[in-house]
Amino acid sequence: MISIKGLSKVFRTKHQEVRAVDDLSLQIKKGEIYGVIGYSGAGKSTFIRLLNRLEDPTDGKVTIDDQELTSLNKGKLREARQEIGMIFQHFNLLWSRTVHDNIAFPLEIAGVPKSERTKRVNELIDLVGLSGRGNSYPSQLSGGQKQRVGIARALANKPKVLLCDEATSALDPETTDSILDLLVDINEKLGLTIVLITHEMHVIRKICHQVAVMEQGKIVEQGDVLDVFLYPKEKVTKKFVDQVMGDPEREHSLQLIKDTYKTGEILRLHFVGENTNQALISEVSRKFVLDVNILHGKITQTQKGAYGTMFVQFLGEKEEITRAIEYIQSTSVEVEVSPDD
């Protein structure tokens, strides 16, 4: 759906040249939530602004649904932009207009008649959970509510793509989660493709299907969110994964745990995808004559299922422990047995 090829943006100032986006290529599928993560200065904002040509590229192409955005003249670009909604970190609302009139604004520009506008705005107000607040002004709303107005306004012209520029960075964690839930809801209900940029791995973990990691204008790693969490390759990606998971290798190596718990069999279980920890653990203690102690673990939920690591201690007859391990090995949970001394 979105094809990005060899995209570059060079900013030239008097004294220097900055390659904010450097020969970047990506494919984003229809209906996907695609996250781009990077530290400050990586080039994320410039990248997302190139997707609707708020910034003109120095080089490269952006194609959305077979339409090459980068070759359009001003008139055609204005039409094409109606299919691309955008939300911002600081909401960018019109302070002198009510919630209703903020959402109606893009419809006015598109020349939608008043009666139709009112109907559409009311639908959008309900969709984003702001029923009853249509006559409020932005200054009377909380941050989360302001972003809901931003989302409703961005959806007014029924876009195919929603661009989110650090949309939750100004919000507290709880409000962030409620806005992320709303984005997932919209993605599922409307089949909308969402491209977001963020510096928070929590955002990627919670709602994205695919992730690209950006550093110095380039994509250094990309893939399925679960894969990137499980097998981060680049140093910068590992740092982002640690933001959410801590570093189990460093903090709790199997050997370290074994040195602490000297009896029974110590196992490390890797959960990937659908499995949830509780179901397997309770199944094992039901099926086998064993005492199972959960020692340490961190399982987290992504859009592609649960994943994480858990250390457990099995206490019981050796044969029974072996049978239990074989049973776990027959599921999709990976088992690592503590090395023999």
Out of 4, 7, 20, 125, the only residue in the binding site for ligand ATP (CB under 6 A) is 20
193 binding ligand ATP? (CB under 6 A): no
Record the tokens describing residue 83, joined without a space: 């299919």
Dmax (CA) for the chain in angstroms is: 78
Q: Which is nearer to ligand ATP, 40 or 73 (CB)?
A: 40
Q: According to the binding rule CB under 6 A, does residue 211 interact with ligand ATP?
A: no
Q: Which is nearer to ligand ATP, 87 or 230 (CB)?
A: 87
CA 218 to chain centre: 19
Q: Which stretch binds ligand ATP (CB under 6 A): 41-49, 136-144, 150-158, 255-263?
A: 41-49
Q: Which of 4, 28, 43, 221 binds ligand ATP (CB under 6 A)?
A: 43
Walk across the sheet containing 265-273 and list its strands.
291-302, 305-315, 265-273, 334-337
- Choosing from 18, 306, 315, 335, the residue that interacts with ligand ATP (CB under 6 A) is 18
User: Which of 24, 34, 35, 38 is the binder for ligand ATP (CB under 6 A)?
Assistant: 38
| Contact partners, residue 7, CB within 8 Å, separation at least 6 | 21, 23, 24, 25, 47, 50, 57, 59, 60, 61, 62
Distance CA(262)–CA(177), nearest Å, equals 41
Which CB atom, from 42 or from 225, has the smaller least distance to ligand ATP?
42
What is the bridge-based pairing of β-strands 193-198 and 218-224?
Answer: unpaired
Nearer to ligand ATP (CB atom), residue 9 or residue 252: 9
User: Which of 202, 213, 276, 214 lies closest to 244 in space, CA to CA?
Assistant: 202
Strands 334-337 and 265-273: antiparallel
In angstroms, give the least distance from the CB of 166 to ligand ATP: 7
Indicate which single residue of 15, 40, 173, 235 sits in contact with ligand ATP (rule: CB under 6 A). Answer: 40
Pick the binder of ligand ATP from 42, 93, 171, 203 (CB under 6 A). Answer: 42
Give me the residues that bind ligand ATP (CB under 6 A), please.
11, 13, 18, 20, 38, 40-46
